[in-house]
């Protein structure tokens, strides 16, 4: 009976085994030859391992760094997310710099596609083409010395208000994030739209949640796009931008001071008045203004949170920084600091603190790039070049992890003195960090971001001493949102006058 039953099953069984083996062979992730990678034995590649690491650390950046460490170095490695997507990784400063500066690499469709549903005509969503270059030219005034000095006043106004608010909270532990977010949104709104407002802050945050990547991103974006809440938020943002643009145009048409450019909309309208034609399409202007709010708010608040984390963890640095500022900046009750007061040349230790915050805090942790044409990379050994065909994808892992060879084994520690030479002067080349990227895609708002963070630190450091938190809250553990933020951050402020008088 057994022999009568088995023969009919042999053929299908063999066929099933052949199909199964073929399927496993086809769907098993194919690593790029000669690039180290972790073993991948399933369709999901290293995806499950990375998911476990992410659950433990809450940062995909740290999961990728772990892959590089396990595969032998920071110069070049790869991660296999599925059968069809090997992605290269690097945390090596030289490799990262070459890619950022080279025209062979740009943000790929996956990166720009994240922003296209929301702000399709903003620099964040554009390839480096003629439209991209036209937008860069249109907003060139935004990095001029005169514009930066004028708009710095908006940050000073909000810093004053922040100090007033926090002065009523001295002596108690509290979460600084809500007030920082509120104040930063007002300041950036004033710089972009001409008024310190939080009117569309909630709507912007609503739409920010629609930005997504990954294999299911197109479906998710389509769903989010038709969601009534999101449609209404987008409608209000468009109406607000149009109303502010109308106000600016009316000001100039009625003989307003065209020499005084106080915000981004004024700058564009002035260019229109001078040339007689629109310098940007209505959609282009709207998307750029929205992107400035989105990007500026998130990164600036994150950097401020890291400032508070590192300063509160290092009382000695607080004392040194305050003394440095007292010697070089007039007291806040005499006059507010200016852009010219706070330069790397005049306040080198302040600049060193900022750069070390950006280096170790690493707010913008990952930058994605795709080869626009056949090109090369430095190979895993750091020696011979390695071919990178058009379409090759690589993740640039910023942060201190890849700089141990340059900095030493204490590269993860917060030491602002690294950035000073023997004369105590600030040296931008002393240590590597690339928070604002480099090359054609370098952050447009980097100068303004640095001005705002300088002002913030001066006001905080000359007004308050940040008490060192309990050991369990001193960790620099990070949580990944759009940026990497410190987790478990609370602060306790004490006015310097009380500290010097020995009061509790």
Q: What is the three-class DSSP state of 430?
A: coil
Do 300 and 184 meet the contact criterion of CB atoms below 8 Å apart?
yes
Look at the block and give the residue holding tokens 């030289």.
94
Distances (CA, A) of 34 to 72, 92, 110, 382, 393: 13, 18, 25, 13, 16
Q: How far apart are CA 57 and CA 60, in angstroms?
A: 8
**Domains in the chain: boundaries:** 43-102+365-399, 103-364+400-433+435-501
> How many percent of the chain have pLDDT more than 90?
49
Which residues, at least 6 apart from 143, have a Cβ–Cβ distance to it below 8 Å? 444, 447, 448
- Residue 406 tokens read as 């340059």
Least confident of 104-113, 304-313, 357-366: 104-113
Which tens digits make up the pLDDT trace of 12-54?
555 554 554 444 444 445 667 778 877 765 666 677 777 777 7
Give the pLDDT of residue 20: 43
Mean local confidence (pLDDT), 350-356:
98
214 — pLDDT class (breaks 50, 70, 90): very low
Q: Which of 280-289, 317-326, 364-373 has the highest mean pLDDT?
A: 317-326
CATH fold of 103-364+400-433+435-501 reads Cytochrome p450 (1.10.630)
Mean local confidence (pLDDT), 177-189:
92
**Residue 7 reports pLDDT greater than 80:** no
Instruction: Output the CA torsion 175→176→179→185 (10° steps).
Output: -120
Q: What is the pTM of this model?
A: 0.87
Find, among 157, 234, 227, 248, the residue nearest to 200 by Cα. Answer: 234
* DSSP conformation letters of 252-270: HHTT--TT---SHHHHHHH
Binding-site residues sit at 443
Find, among 286, 260, 258, the residue nearest to 273 by Cα. Answer: 258
Which tens digits make up the pLDDT trace of 388-420?
999 999 999 999 998 888 888 899 999 999 999
Give the pLDDT of residue 19: 52
Find, among 89, 297, 85, the residue nearest to 184 by Cα. Answer: 297
Which tens digits make up the pLDDT trace of 85-143?
688 999 999 999 999 999 999 987 666 666 777 788 899 888 888 999 999 999 999 99
Mean pLDDT value across the chain: 84
**Residue 431 reports pLDDT greater than 50:** yes
Binding-site residues for heme sit at 443
Going through 128-247 in order, the beta strands assigned E by DSSP cover none
- Residue 41 tokens read as 């034995």
């Amino acid at each position: 009976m057994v022999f009568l039953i088995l023969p009919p099953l042999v053929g299908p069984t063999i066929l099933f085994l052949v199909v199964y083996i073929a399927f496993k062979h086809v769907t098993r992730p194919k690593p790029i030859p000669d690039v180290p990678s972790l073993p991948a034995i399933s369709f999901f590649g290293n995806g499950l391992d990375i998911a476990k690491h992410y659950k433990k650390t809450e940062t995909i950046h740290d999961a990728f760094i772990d892959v590089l460490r396990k595969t032998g170095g920071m110069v070049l490695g790869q991660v296999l997310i599925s059968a069809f997507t090997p992605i290269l990784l690097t945390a090596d400063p030289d490799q990262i710099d070459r890619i950022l500066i080279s025209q062979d690499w740009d943000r790929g469709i996956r990166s720009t596609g994240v922003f296209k549903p929301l702000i399709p005509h903003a620099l964040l969503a554009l390839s480096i083409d003629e439209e991209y270059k036209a937008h860069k030219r249109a907003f060139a005034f935004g990095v001029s010395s005169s514009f930066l000095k004028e708009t710095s006043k908006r940050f000073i106004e909000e810093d004053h208000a922040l100090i007033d608010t926090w002065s009523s909270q001295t002596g108690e532990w509290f979460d600084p994030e809500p007030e920082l977010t509120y104040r930063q949104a007002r300041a950036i709104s004033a710089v972009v739209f001409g008024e310190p407002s939080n009117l569309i802050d909630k709507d912007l945050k609503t739409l920010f949640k629609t930005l997504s990547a990954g294999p299911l991103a197109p479906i998710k974006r389509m769903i989010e796009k038709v969601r009534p809440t999101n449609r209404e938020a987008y409608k209000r943002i468009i109406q607000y931008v149009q109303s502010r643009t109308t106000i600016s145009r009316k000001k100039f048409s009625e003989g307003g001071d065209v020499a005084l450019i106080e915000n981004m909309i004024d700058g564009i309208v002035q260019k229109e008045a001078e040339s007689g034609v629109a310098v940007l399409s209505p959609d282009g202007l709207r998307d750029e203004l929205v992107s400035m709010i989105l990007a500026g708010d998130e990164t600036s608040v994150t950097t401020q949170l890291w400032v508070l984390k590192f300063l509160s963890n290092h009382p000695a640095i607080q004392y040194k920084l305050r003394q440095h500022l007292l010697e070089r900046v007039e007291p806040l009750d005499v006059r507010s600091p200016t852009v010219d007061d706070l330069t790397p040349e005049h306040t080198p230790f302040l600049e060193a603190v900022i750069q070390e915050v950006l280096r170790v805090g690493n707010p913008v942790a990952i930058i994605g790039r795709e080869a626009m044409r056949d090109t090369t990379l430095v190979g895993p050994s750091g020696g011979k070049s390695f071919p990178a065909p058009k379409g090759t994808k690589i993740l640039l892992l910023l942060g201190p992890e890849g700089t141990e060879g340059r900095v030493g084994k204490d590269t993860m520690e917060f030491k602002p003195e690294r950035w000073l030479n023997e004369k105590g002067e600030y040296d931008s080349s002393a240590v590597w960090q690339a928070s604002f990227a480099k090359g054609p895609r370098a952050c447009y708002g980097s100068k303004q971001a640095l001005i705002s963070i300088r002002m913030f630190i001066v006001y905080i450091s000359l007004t308050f001493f940040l008490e060192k938190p309990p050991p369990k809250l001193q960790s620099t553990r990070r949580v990944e949102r759009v940026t990497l933020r410190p987790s478990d951050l609370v602060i306790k402020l004490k006015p310097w006058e009380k500290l010097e008088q020995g009061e509790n």
